[in-house]
Amino acid sequence: MIDDWQIGSGTVYWITGLSGAGKTTIGRHLWQLLKEQNPATVFLDGDALRKVFSPSGYSLEERLVLGMQYSRLCQMLSLQNIDVVCATIAMFHQIHRWNRNNIENYFETYLSVPMEILVNRHPKDLYRRAQTGQIQNVYGVDLPFEEPEHPDVVIQNEGHQDPEDIARRIIALKKDLMSSTVASYLPSHH
């Protein structure tokens, strides 16, 4: 049964990567560009969502629960014909698979950045503090992470590209994917 509030299917642009990969910056640019096409577009940032959901910690289990909450929120909004840009770490195969299986228009972008660049880039010195044991539960240092198995786009974001250009490329790649998907469903003429 479809609930009354399920009126359509917006697109969920899921941007994932380690802390400092550029998710929030690129996500904001993507959101601004998408809002020009569809005012019913929202931006969800993992750090801001963490404050809303108020989880108690950063263990793998707590991160998985939180990531699933983000996924369900994105699904709920997309079912109301709202486009969603969600910038979050959520590096679990379980989450990525759930998104693909439960969100009709799901587009996953993985921002891949070498650890040595992340260490030097991070504004809060997160990785250096984790490497010296000052803090715990940091992906890529003392917490394992699962890179996405089948992202729609992988972007090597080493800091040489303009974030708005990356956002434009994500939109173009999404359109290309939609065109090829539509083309593959067109009947062949004999």
Could you tell me the CATH number of the domain that includes residue 25? 3.40.50.300
CA distance 137 to 86: 22
How many independent structural domains does the chain possess? 1
Residue range 9-29, pLDDT digits in tens: 899 999 999 999 999 999 999
Residue 107 lies in a domain: yes
Give the tokens for residue 31. 């959101």
* Residue that the structure tokens 């959520």 belong to: 90
Give the tokens for residue 125. 């010195």
What's the pLDDT at 185? Answer: 43
Which range marks the domain in which residue 135 is found? 11-172
What's the pLDDT at 158? Answer: 92
Residue 37 lies in a domain: yes
Note whether 137 and 58 are within 8 A (CB): yes
Residue 4 lies in a domain: no
Residue 112 lies in a domain: yes
Residue 180 lies in a domain: no
Give the tokens for residue 159. 């800091």
Residue 114 lies in a domain: yes
Residue range 140-173, pLDDT digits in tens: 888 888 999 999 999 999 989 999 999 999 999 9
Instruction: Quote the longest CA-to-CA distance of the chain.
Output: 68
